[in-house]
Amino acid sequence: MSQSSFPTYVILFFCMSIVLSAAVSTQPANGQSSVSDSRPPEVVVLNTIEENAGFGMELHRVSIRGVARDSAGKPISAATVYVASQNSRSPGGFENLRGQTTSDEAGRYELNDVQLLVNRTRPNPLPEPAEGGFVVFGVADGYGITWSKEHRYRPEERQQAIKQQDAPIDETVPAFYRNEPMVVDLDFDLPATLQGQITDDFGQPIAGATVSLGLIRNWRNLDGGGMSSCRYVGKVEEVRPVPFGAIRSLPAELRETTTDADGRYRFDQLRRDTTYLGLISPGPLFDAYQFSLSTQEKRPSKSRLVCTGYDGTLDREFETPRDVNVVVVDRKNKQPVSDAIVTAYHKRKIRHVGSRGRTDANGETKLRLPPSEQEDDYELCVEPSSTEPLLLESFRFTVPKKGHSIDVPVKLQHAAIVQIRCVDADSGDPVSGVRFEYETDTHSTPQTVSSQSVYVDHPVTNDQGMLTAYLPPGRRRFIALDDSAGVERSQSVSLDHDTGLRGELVELVAGETTKVQFEIPPVLDDSSSWPIRKSVFPKEYAEKWDLQGRLMRNARVKVSVRSTRTSGKKLDAKKMLETFRNLDPYQVPNVEAIFNDTFDAKLHQTPMVITVDGSKKREDTYSVDIGSKLPRLDSDGNVRPTRTMVSNGFEFVSVSGFNNQVDVNEASKSRHHISSLHDLCRWPLIRRIRPGQTPPEDELPQPNIIDLGDRVAFEMELERGGGKMVFRQVCDKKTGFIFEFAVGPTFDDLADVRFYFAPTEQSNGLILPGMEVSWKLRDNKIQHYELHLIDEVKLLDAITPETFAVAIPAGSMIVDYRGISNDPQQPRQRPEQVIVKSDVTDTVAYLQRTSPPLKRTESKIKYGQKAPDLEIASWVGAGGDTEAPDLSGKVVLIDFWGIHCGPCVGQLPEVRKAATYFADKPLLLLGLHDSHTTTEELRAFAEKEGLTFQLAIDKPASERGWFGETMRAYGIRGIPSSAVIDQEGNVVFVGSFKESLFKVEELLP
């Protein structure tokens, strides 16, 4: 597959959307379902708890009925009634809208044979009933949309024990049990209406502007599922709000509209006394207006809601983006600089469109930016091409409100060109694989040498011992280090920052070339000349494997594959082994037909591109985006991967294209696996005898050699760990290519099996397969299998700085884990988070330029040591202030929270459930509120939410930047969070509430 055809190839995979076979139940307009000869099954198991990491999913056939009526109790006929599943987990591509019908003249409706999604959860550690949430909602002419409370269906018979266990968990969510009538009535009211006009700051109407209510686009991730908030709050504040969690299933025309040619819009069927999350977006070039709307007649106290009442108007004026004409020239010779990337970053607002451009042959590009709200609230960053000896330039500027355009000239400074040469101190031969850091004459903190100023690429000296870099001018001291994370070299250097060779300070001059030479201490001889240790395999095969292994470890290659990684529990292990062992190993088999005909299984393949340069690895996955009909494109029109993982040997970067989260960590700390050539083929590492090393004299077991014509099989039985293990390897006689590798307790019970097909020799002599398939067994069942079909192998002559750089779109959230300790005896620290306001060319370089990793202070909390004192401003119970509880001999579970923290309030059902579950145990559950509340406010909230466990308010913190003094002592930088104190008063855990429950369960008798 050529690179130019790859996007088309990916689009074909995206267009193959996966839709569950369980269709939406659509029923006739007489309020009853039609009689059908083919009813859906009573239960359809989608996933079991065992095969889906502790979360089972099922479809259960149910019937729901009720009456649609108005506020006076009169029936409403011809109302359209819907039912939608509402669960915390659902399969990919699942249609939450499960059925619809219309009410009859008496207002009655029936939804029969609806397949509701039911979740089953492994206790962890609190028991969870199997249940499926659902919401019934309706639309009728002349009325506002309406919805019921969330209900739950539990597919067991109602028993007294279950009733007693479940009732206290969440009384606000009624549950129906198996064989019980499921009756949900709908109450309609007159509609609220909203209209308005959208104009620009020149008084012109804006046509085609989108106005959304209840469900809006997430401006951080325009391709995501959006954000939703829609709650019926009633006419008085004391009414418990009824959220409409199924608003995504509401017909789009009832929650979103666009402006006409005059910039006007209108909604006619909003629900009265309801709050909506709203968004008005004239287009991607404008700053969207996000707000919270209330259709109440009276504005609630202490509210920032836009209150429009039952018949409201909401107009909005938007500032038109201005033309920002950027001209980039070379500062020295005033010549235009082409192919430079120009990006404008706003201080606060995300810019998806108009904030990025690339200069043409005249050094010009045009940006489209809304006017500044404050002076210098934009930063302009100009990144020259990596081949140009120019330095990156950035500065702040203002887009004025007056006028339609602004000219911004940019002059790029020439870099100092540094050529570093490394030679062996004795022989004078060039030394490869040496990287460098540098210090300045004013700052001793070492900085990484990159080959240019835009990307962080960690270059090393090449086979000629040379490294060229473009650096800022000034006095620099270079420090030679070995490429400890780099590719295997024929030579090895042992240098780190403390022992590295430190050069003299040299003056780097802009536009001039400075040559620096390092004499490296003698290195070890080429390890390929060391004798091969005795092996159970014939030497001729060991030498072939050794040659191929070295070619693979030093390869620079890009491989396009189609990958399958999934559970194989429904596959027959013996049939898998027999099937693949009997195929022609020199041809790529038709695996789609094999899985379909032999195993009655569909093969879902995911396009993937693997790029490798020694230890530098990149994996771009183009998964099928079930929620989108077309693949996502970046700002240059290229298909965006749905997941990218990159390790340059020093930093690890992972990007999720679904939610635009970017995780950054030290490569040595990352636990993620990035695919490489080792996942596609097997070339064993051959052990050699190092100089001065005495080889062992032990007799080695001899394999059973089986002649298979052009191939040969090696089989043997080994003693391992007090037991026996068998080993089988099948190789090509001519090349040594390994077709099969398998190990296990017996030859009839092979637990780890790998097959490789269709070997092809590349132009550099490296042999790679056309397909790989492997699986692992547990309890005689296939746990999972992997399959890789190789479509194209492209050897790379050179690696550019962009190859292992990770570009990310505007709105991406960078979560920086660098510098966080992995000490298991300390609480896990929260990583730094940064949301980028425009597209970023290289994530690591962006962080290095704007947010260098902090030197994190060591946590004061040590597990097993005495817990910090509770600094409490007031103890709060159901009736008001209480005395401090007796903690002696009890396990204490602290929930750090606040009523103005959305995630904290969202976690309260779990906290209430834990309080009920552990009620008869020697445990105190303490809800420690931050210091920013009063006893009256907290008590009122507790009564409204039914919080019966012990509450308290933290004392104000003695230092700024903390939620309270106790939270400061525990190092709590973000809430919700939790801590566990054992019976002896020692802190044993700080972290999430769910994880704290496991620790509590360990401590309680």
3-state SS, residue 60: strand
pLDDT surpassing 90 at residue 955:
yes
Asked whether residue 36 carries a pLDDT value surpassing 90, the answer given is no
The pTM (predicted TM-score) of the whole model is 0.85
Distance CA 912, CA 909 (A): 5
Extract the runs of DSSP E, i.e. beta strands, from 156-307: 175-177, 182-183, 186-187, 192-200, 210-213, 215-216, 227-228, 230-232, 242-243, 256-258, 264-270, 274-281, 289-294, 306-307
Statement: residue 316 has pLDDT above 80? yes
**51 vs 484, more confident:** 51
What does each C-alpha distance from 380 to 325, 337, 909 come to in angstroms? 12, 16, 47
Please give the pLDDT value at position 464. 94
Q: Does the pLDDT value for residue 850 go beyond 50?
A: yes
Question: Is-contact 912 169, C-beta < 8 A?
Answer: yes
pLDDT at 73: 94
Predicted confidence (pLDDT) per residue in 964-996, tens digit: 999 999 989 889 999 999 999 999 999 999 999
CA distances from 96 to 52, 213, 221, 482 (A): 20, 20, 22, 55
Phi first, then psi, for residue 578 (nearest 5°) are -65, -40
Of the given ranges (537-541, 845-849, 931-935), which has the lowest mean pLDDT? 537-541
CA-nearest of 546, 554, 545, 541 to 528 is: 546
Q: What is the pLDDT of residues 759-782, one digit of tens each?
A: 999 999 999 999 999 999 887 888
Measure the CA–CA gap between 738 and 680, rounded to whole angstroms.
11
Residue 623: pLDDT band (50, 70, 90) is: confident
601 or 583: which leads in pLDDT:
583
Mean model confidence pLDDT for the chain:
87
Residue 491: predicted pLDDT: 41
Q: Rounded mean pLDDT of 299-308?
A: 80
In the prediction, which pLDDT does 990 show? 93
Mean pLDDT, to the nearest integer, of 158-178? Answer: 61
Residue 966: which of 987, 984, 942 has the closest Cα? 987
Report the alpha-carbon distance of residue 363 to residue 340 in Å, rounded: 8
pLDDT in tens, 498-526: 555 889 999 999 999 999 999 988 754 45
Cα–Cα–Cα angle for 938, 944, 949, rounded to 5 degrees: 65
What is the CA 332 to chain-centroid distance, rounded? 44
Please tell me the distance from the alpha carbon of residue 910 to that of residue 169, in angstroms, as a whole number.
8
User: What single DSSP character describes residue 339?
Assistant: S
Res 523: pLDDT: 59
pLDDT in tens, 372-417: 989 999 999 999 999 999 999 999 999 999 989 999 999 999 999 9
Bridge partner residues of 561 (DSSP): 608, 790
Give the pLDDT of residue 658: 82
Q: How far is CA 594 from CA 90, 169, 590, in A?
A: 30, 49, 6
| 640: Cβ contacts below 8 Å, ≥ 6 apart | 631, 632, 633, 634, 657, 809
Candidates 456, 466, 524; CA nearest to 492 is 524
Measured between alpha carbons, how far is 546 from 552 in angstroms, rounded to an integer?
Answer: 10
Residue 322: strand pairing partners: 369
With a cut of 90, say whether residue 244 has pLDDT above it: yes
First-to-last alpha carbon distance for the chain, in angstroms, is 62
How many residues does this entry show for the chain? 1005
Asked whether the predicted pLDDT for residue 12 surpasses 80, the reply is no
Give 472's contacts (C-beta < 8 A, 6+ positions apart): 391, 415, 416, 453, 508
- Give tens-digit pLDDT for 462-494: 989 999 999 999 999 999 987 644 333 334 444
pLDDT of residue 556: 93
| Angle, alpha carbons 127-128-132 (nearest 5°) | 170
| Residues β-bridged to residue 466 | 421
DSSP string, 820-859: ----TTSPPPPPEEEE-SS-BS-HHHHHHHH-PPP-PPPP
State phi, psi for 542 to the nearest 5 degrees: -60, -40
In angstroms and rounded to an integer, the radius of gyration of the C-alpha atoms of the chain is: 33
User: How far apart, in Å, are the Cα atoms of 619 and each of 53, 485, 564?
Assistant: 25, 18, 14
Q: What is the pLDDT of residue 528?
A: 57
C-alpha 712, offset from chain centre: 45
- Report CA-CA distances (Å) from 851 to 72, 341, 382, 816: 61, 21, 18, 9
Tokens at residue 674, please?
């990035």
Check the CA dihedral 210-215-217-223 and report its sign: negative
> Residue 860: its pLDDT value, please?
74
Greater confidence, 218 or 869? 869
Position 172 scores a pLDDT of 52
